[in-house]
Amino acid sequence: MVFKSYIQYSEEETLAAVLVPQDMVPVNISLDEGSDMNLETGDECVAELWSNDYEVSIYSNEEEYRAVGTNMAPISMIPMGTFPANPRQKDFRQNAMILFTGIVREAERNPEPEEDAPVWRLRIETYALSFDLYYFEDELVQLGYLVHGQVWLYGELRRKTATDACGAD
């Protein structure tokens, strides 16, 4: 990822605009504590991305996914919070929301979740990035399932070092 700029969203939250490696797609990330706040435009970064703020549906295969009438590719992502859907929209406020469809690459179930704790940690691979989805529903999720919906993308952003093997985790 290449750092583009910080956007002050509110006193409680800071957004970072980054260009993700594949085709340099711009995406906003709501920064967690521990993020490097001294990055300069153009710095190469590593980001650990996650979400627990979502509206998603899960499908066991592409046929089931297509049956609901979607036209989005099984690996796709639209950074909804980066650009207004209508360029004439005057009240658009940037945020960290993405619309995506992705594949479950890892699925770790919490066998005895405490109250208000996620049941699953799902590693989702979508277009240009991967992130962990902390999923609170108690339903079967397996590797290869498709996940479609919207998430608020959180992350820890830090400067890439010589020991980092890739640009994004």
Q: Give residue-wise pLDDT tens across range 59-83.
A: 999 999 999 999 999 999 999 999 8
Comparing 126 with 169, the larger pLDDT belongs to 126
Mean pLDDT confidence for 80-95: 89
What pLDDT, on a 0 to 100 scale, did the predictor assign at position 5? Answer: 85
Domain boundaries, the chain: 2-159
Name the least confident of 54-58, 84-88, 130-134, 153-157: 84-88
> Mean of the pLDDT values across residues 95-112?
96
- Whether the pLDDT of residue 167 is over 50: the answer is no
Radius of gyration over every alpha carbon of the chain, rounded to an integer in angstroms:
16
Could you give the CA distance from residue 17 to residue 20 in angstroms, rounded to a whole number? Answer: 10
Tens of pLDDT along 14-69?
A: 999 998 876 778 899 999 888 888 888 888 888 899 999 999 999 999 999 999 99
Q: What percent of the chain has pLDDT over 90?
A: 58
Quick check: 168 pLDDT over 50?
no
Q: What is the pTM of this model?
A: 0.89
Q: Find all residues with CB under 8 Å of 15, minimum gap 6, and list them.
A: 6, 7, 8, 9, 28, 29, 30, 31, 94, 95, 96
pLDDT number for residue 163: 83
Task: State residue 20's pLDDT score.
Answer: 83
**Considering only CA atoms, which of 49, 47, 42, 2 is closest in space to residue 21?**
2
Question: Predicted confidence band at 13 (pLDDT cuts at 50, 70, 90)?
Answer: confident
Region of residue 23 (left: phi > 0; alpha: psi -120 to 50; beta: else): left
Give the helix ranges, DSSP H, for 42-149: 62-67
Total Cβ atoms within 10 A of residue 121: 16
